[in-house]
Amino acid sequence: MPDTLNTYRTLTPYLVVPDADVEMRFLKAAFAAAETLCHRSPEGKVMHAEMTVGDSLVMIGQSSVQWKPLTSALYVWVPDVDATYARALEAGATSQSAPEDKPYGHRQAGVVDTNGVTWWIASPIA
């Protein structure tokens, strides 16, 4: 069980997706996420999972009749936009936009994973 005083922040994204296992594999492959908690139904479906991406926590749930999928977009700071973008594509995402320097000081790229979650990948321009 996570240490709630040191794990949870003021704002934590919660993804409700059609295939939670696929989402968890994508997070591991694209962003080097670590699984910290996973509760499954008797049928093996992910009911609630928690993964860390860098210093952030992401909660994930399997959609169902009761819990419909929710669309979302997340902005992720990474050390190397180009390398992370390439890993995300290798992990099954499609390109939303290739890496480029933006006038507001970010190098940014965008991908959409197989569950329809948009990930904006960015770092400050050095």
Neighbours of 11 (CB within 10 A): 7
Confidence band (pLDDT; 50, 70, 90) for 3?
low
Question: Average pLDDT of 7-29?
Answer: 91
pTM for the structure as a whole: 0.87
Rounded to 10°, the helix 20-31/81-90 angle is 140
**CA–CA distance, 102 with 113 (Å, rounded to integer):** 23
Write down all domains in the chain, each with its CATH number in brackets: 12-124 (3.10.180.10)
pLDDT score of 2 more than 60: no
Question: Average pLDDT of 37-47?
Answer: 95
Share of the chain above pLDDT 90, in %: 86
Neighbours of 101 (CB within 10 A): 11
pLDDT score of 5 more than 60: no
Specify whether the CB–CB gap between 63 and 41 falls below 8 A: no
Share of the chain above pLDDT 70, in %: 94
**CA–CA distance, 106 with 47 (Å, rounded to integer):** 36
Confidence band (pLDDT; 50, 70, 90) for 20?
very high
Tokens of 19: 């295939």
Tokens of 5: 């005083």
Give the single-character DSSP code of 56. E
pLDDT in tens, 50-82: 999 999 999 999 999 988 998 889 999 999 999
Neighbours of 80 (CB within 10 A): 13
How many residues appear in the chain? Answer: 126
